[in-house]
Amino acid sequence: MSFKTFLTAGAASIALASAAFAASHSMNPTVGGAEMSPEMTIAENASNAPNLTTLVAAVKAAGLVDTLMGAGPFTVFAPTNEAFDMLPDGTVAELLKPENKDQLTKILTCHVVAADAMSDAIGKMIADDGGEHDVPTVGGCTLKAMMDGDNIVLQDEMGNKATVIVADVKQSNGVVHVIDHVLLPKSDM
């Protein structure tokens, strides 16, 4: 092999590796226009998403940042700022008060599952269970997962429904599915 052939082959290998690296990083969905890195934790990525600032503030107020930076795996159903805005006026401000930390923690952990569940796996569980699958959460709530066309819909214990609007956002410690409503435990609100 000549030196020129060696250099050309080496350059081609580097170009292919760079293209593969770029492709693997561009495959993760963006959230609120922000790129989500599969090498970062759920807490790190959420803090970069402009449409998850209320969720991030709530996670901080509840003292759950370290948990969501932990090894996991976790599946987080992440409500957008607009989802929190749909709650009755003053609800978020009230929940963020230190004296309401337990209630806030309960609500937030009812959005977390102790598994790494991508949308195709959730869809399969729904189909296998005849159209509705119970999803036990870290907070002790049970969500009901179902399909509405191609969309995964979650029903909380109050009967409210949230649709997954951005699915399969890979994280180093799990996966995030962005949802359009806040899910509530039976006894809250």
Q: What is the pLDDT of residue 149?
A: 94
Q: What is the pLDDT of residue 32?
A: 85
**Low-confidence residues of the chain, pLDDT below 50?**
3-26, 189
| Residue in 132, 107, 114, 112 with CA at minimum distance from that of residue 122 | 132
Structural domain contains residue 86: yes
Structural domain contains residue 189: no
Distances (CA, A) of 80 to 89, 150, 167, 187: 16, 20, 13, 22
What total of structural domains would you count in the chain? 1
Structural domain contains residue 69: yes
Structural domain contains residue 184: no
Q: What is the domain extent for residue 155?
A: 31-179
| Residue in 74, 65, 159, 62 with CA at minimum distance from that of residue 106 | 62
Structural domain contains residue 43: yes
Q: What is the pLDDT of residue 187?
A: 72
Is residue 152 classed exposed, middle or buried when 0-12, 13-18 and 19+ CB atoms within 10 A define those classes? buried
| Residue in 18, 44, 187, 1 with CA at minimum distance from that of residue 103 | 187
Structural domain contains residue 2: no
Structural domain contains residue 138: yes
- C-alpha R_g of the chain: 20
Structural domain contains residue 112: yes
3-state SS string for 165-183: EEEEEEECCEEEEEECCCC
CATH label of the domain that carries residue 44: 2.30.180.10
Q: What is the pLDDT of residue 25?
A: 45
Q: What is the pLDDT of residue 1?
A: 53
